[in-house]
Amino acid sequence: MKPKVAIFDLTDCEGCEVQIVNSKFIDRVLGGVEFVHFRLGQRVNRWEEFDVAFIEGAVITSHELELVKKIREHSKIVVALGSCACFGGIAAISNFMDIKEAKRYVYGENADKIETLYIKPLPEIIKVDFMIRGCPIVPEDFERVVSDLFAGRIPREHTRPVCMDCKSKGNPCQLLKNVPCAGPVTYGGCGAPCPSAGMPCDGCRGPLEEPQMSAELELLKKIASKDDIVRLFRKYAPMAPLFKDVGGEKL
Amino acid sequence: MIYDEFVTQIEGHGRIYFDIKDGKVVEARLEIHEGSRLFESFLRGRRADEVPQMSSRICGVCPVPHNMAAIQALENAMGIEASEQTKMLRRFMISSQMVQDHALHLYVLAAADYLGVTGISEVYAKFPDAVKRCVRIRTVGNRGIELVGGRAVHPINSIPGGFAKLPTREDMEKIAKDFKAILNDCIETFRLFASLKCPDFERPTEYLAIDDGKHFPAYAGRLVTNRGLKVEAKEYRNHIKEVFKPYSNTKFCVMNGHGFHVGAIARVNLFKNRLNPTAKELLRESPVKFPSDNPLHNNLAQALEIVHYAEEAIKIAEELAVKLKDEERPKPTKAGTGVGVAEAPRGTLIHEYTVDKNGIVKDANLIIPTGMNTTNIEEDLYALLSANINKPKEQLKRLAEMLFRAYDPCLSCATH
């Protein structure tokens, strides 16, 4: 029997689903699983027990809040797909703003008719079994987690910072060029695409386990303004543990 | 509350609601329930150099045009004049995106409508060669974006003034070969979609695209329509109005009080004379003639564009393979407001930003292709349903969704 898989998207850019389609794995996925619920990919979708449900996107509407609870009830394993699901994603920047004013700026006098919840990471709403991080995810992480799950293995966590990926690519260090970079505290395994393209890491995968956060902040204070440090961590994973605390008195 | 199922095989979350009484369509609505991420609000207060990357997060399906429109708007705001080479590389990125994204929409999302199957798994089971062709096309399109932008989904190193890192001449030579290798797949895609039966329907409307005076629409230019509009992009507010609808988180766009159409069909209707040679040749053998007023022909226009933009990518890559050089990135010379326009797969995209003297964004406004198409979609729905009023409700629903899907809508983008 093929594993029964569901893929759900909440409010987001759907780029992580595009990364799934971009995976070299896509042939094997299409041939090897049964999609019982996959709105983006098929017309007929069913609510039955899912062996694995992937949830992409942020919970912004009350519809989505109810939906994720329903998905949890139907799923043996729930995987949070991408940093919107794992950490609230880019839209959660508005958690740190005056939300009324933020809505008024976009919708004017109709602002009150638009519902936007305080954006919580998915693991704060339902039990999440695994997280595939990143904005966007890298296809290799998806391939690894899927192969592990379907082989009955527990997917392993990356334990090294982005710096290790960056070093292995032979990139010049951004911090040594006095460019604020989140690499030392960010969950690695992405292959460091940003420093490899000449830009700093902006922490899209959230923190690795037990990062040297205070050392990183001390270092950044020497080369960047307080506002720029806050901007660095309040970007693609603004509600991630530790990242969400950057700002205020701690700087 | 949990809504019933949303329309499948489109980007984002929405429903089509219609009501028929006494043999007449009394209501046809496009309800968009995508959550509002409030991009325009949270981009305020960000540094201008962060904004192109952040703006691309509006859409993971078409990140490149967002990135490009944002960069161009910021350059206009800050008085930066990009070099010809930079503009060529940007057109190359947009061409790569078009190839990659049109293939995704046609094979993964729209094909099921035409092939009489329910979705991607069934397409894969019954038409494995088509899926493999799609993968080949998309792989090269992605590689093109990645080569210049650093990453296929959400480009990294394209920034105001140019690129944080440039590809090499060898890279350009190689990617030109890669695009050449898929040109036949692109042609086959056009022939496949030209052979598929498309519902008969016609409703004349206004088509809008950008015109840089030289190229088939891609990067920068004036806003032009088939009904005589020809204005600088920065004047967009005088012509395109946003209207709030109580049933939609996306604001609806109107021009002179009516709907208008952006996207592949608009570009081909307006600028088919600027298509590259192979695409032009295919158009001659096409059973469907353009300009067309059947919105469902947008899919065939997309298939034609895959060929055109692949040829465009080859042309640019071959030229840069011999003359690409390192350049100094021009620096900001002023603060102020700027507008940027680019063609996304789904149509004309407008970004506008105001940047202060410290390089911080103070104001942002984004007009998204699917937002522009919303009113036109509703007008089409009325007409399409009225023309097929005697069909059973379930069939009407399918037809309405097929029309909606043919627009290649992106509700994530539209709501942002």
Reported as a single tens digit per residue, the pLDDT across A151-190 is: 899 999 999 999 999 999 999 999 999 999 999 999 999 9
Query: Residue A208 pLDDT more than 60?
Result: yes
The tens digit of pLDDT for each residue in B255-299 reads 999 999 999 999 999 999 999 999 999 999 999 999 999 999 999
- Nearest-CB residue to A70 (from B2, B13, B159): B2
Q: What is the pLDDT of residue A25?
A: 76
The tens digit of pLDDT for each residue in B54-94 reads 999 999 999 999 999 999 999 999 999 999 999 999 999 99
- Nearest-CB residue to B9 (from A41, A61, A89): A41
The tens digit of pLDDT for each residue in A73-117 reads 999 999 999 999 999 999 999 999 999 999 999 999 999 999 999
Contact B5 A60 (CB under 8 A): no
Residue with the bigger pLDDT between A209 and A31: it is A209
- Give the total number of structural domains in chain A: 2
Q: Do residues A38 and A95 share a domain? A: yes
Contact in structure between B250 and B32 (CB atoms under 8 Å) = yes
Q: What is the pLDDT of residue A24?
A: 79
What contacts B295, CB < 8 A, 6 or more positions away? B201, B203, B261, B265, B376, B380, B403, B406, B407
Contact A42 B118 (CB under 8 A): yes
Asked if residue A241 is part of any domain, the answer here is: yes
Contact in structure between B373 and B411 (CB atoms under 8 Å) = no
Q: Do residues A215 and A178 share a domain? A: yes
Scanning every residue of chain B, which has its alpha carbon at the shortest distance from the alpha carbon of A14? B60
Domain final residue pick, A86, A115, A150: A150
Of B309, B312, B298, B378, which Cα lies nearest the Cα of B106? Answer: B298
Distance CA A231, CA B268 (A): 42
Scanning every residue of chain B, which has its alpha carbon at the shortest distance from the alpha carbon of A95? B42
Contact B124 A13 (CB under 8 A): no
Spell out which residues of chain A touch residue B108, defining contact as CB-CB under 8 Å: 21, 41
Q: What is the pLDDT of residue B4?
A: 66
Of B199, B209, B224, which Cα lies nearest the Cα of B299? Answer: B199
The tens digit of pLDDT for each residue in B172-211 reads 999 999 999 999 999 999 999 999 999 999 999 999 999 9
Tell me which residues of chain B, numbers 228 to 257, contact chain A at a CB-CB cutoff of 8 Å: 244, 246, 249, 251
Spell out which residues of chain A touch residue B160, defining contact as CB-CB under 8 Å: none
Q: Do residues A135 and A15 share a domain? A: yes
Per DSSP, what are the bridge partners of residue A79? Answer: A54, A130
Q: Residue B270 phi/psi, 5° resolution? A: -85, -35
Task: Give chain B's length.
Answer: 416
Contact in structure between A178 and A220 (CB atoms under 8 Å) = no
* Domain containing residue A119: CATH number: 3.40.50.700
Contact A193 B104 (CB under 8 A): no
Domain final residue pick, A86, A121, A150: A150
- Token couple for A53: 């449900």
From B360's Cα to the closest Cα of chain A, the distance in A is 11
Helix intervals (H) in A23-138: 26-32, 62-74, 83-87, 99-107
Tell me which residues of chain B, numbers 59 to 88, contact chain A at a CB-CB cutoff of 8 Å: 59-61, 63
Q: Do residues A66 and A134 share a domain? A: yes
Domain final residue pick, A122, A150, A178: A150
- Predicted TM-score of the model (pTM): 0.97
Q: What is the pLDDT of residue A150?
A: 86
Asked if residue A156 is part of any domain, the answer here is: no
Q: Does B153 touch chain A (CB under 8 A)?
A: yes
Q: Do residues A65 and A94 share a domain? A: yes
Contact B121 A228 (CB under 8 A): no
What residues does each domain of chain B span?
A: 14-415
Helix (H/G/I), strand (E/B), else coil: A150:
helix
- Token couple for B381: 């729905």
Going across the sheet that includes A130-132, the strands are: A34-38, A4-9, A50-56, A75-81, A130-132
Q: Does B29 touch chain A (CB under 8 A)?
A: no
Q: Do residues A109 and A85 share a domain? A: yes
Contact B33 A61 (CB under 8 A): yes
Q: Does B112 touch chain A (CB under 8 A)?
A: yes
- Taking one residue from A and the other from B, the number of pairs with CB-CB distance under 8 angstroms is 189
- Token couple for B20: 């028929």
Distance CA B109, CA B115 (A): 11
Q: How confident is the model at residue A249 (pLDDT cuts 50, 70, 90)?
A: low
The tens digit of pLDDT for each residue in B317-326 reads 999 999 999 9
Query: Residue A231 pLDDT more than 60?
Result: yes
Output the CATH code of domain B14-415: 1.10.645.10
What contacts B174, CB < 8 A, 6 or more positions away? none
Phi-psi region of A43 (alpha: psi -120 to 50; beta: other; left: phi over 0): alpha
Contact B37 A60 (CB under 8 A): yes
Task: Give chain A's length.
Answer: 251
Asked if residue A80 is part of any domain, the answer here is: yes
- Token couple for B171: 């890279």
Distance CA B351, CA B48 (A): 13
Host domain of residue A65 = 4-150
Q: Residue B128 phi/psi, 5° resolution? A: -60, -35
Q: Residue B122 phi/psi, 5° resolution? A: -70, -35
Q: Do residues A139 and A191 share a domain? A: no
Distance CA B43, CA B45 (A): 6
- Token couple for A174: 């951004």
Q: Does B2 touch chain A (CB under 8 A)?
A: yes
Rounded to 5°, the CA angle A78-A82-A88 comes to 95
Asked if residue A47 is part of any domain, the answer here is: yes
Contact B135 A26 (CB under 8 A): yes
Distance CA B160, CA B157 (A): 10
Q: What is the pLDDT of residue A28?
A: 78
Asked if residue A157 is part of any domain, the answer here is: no
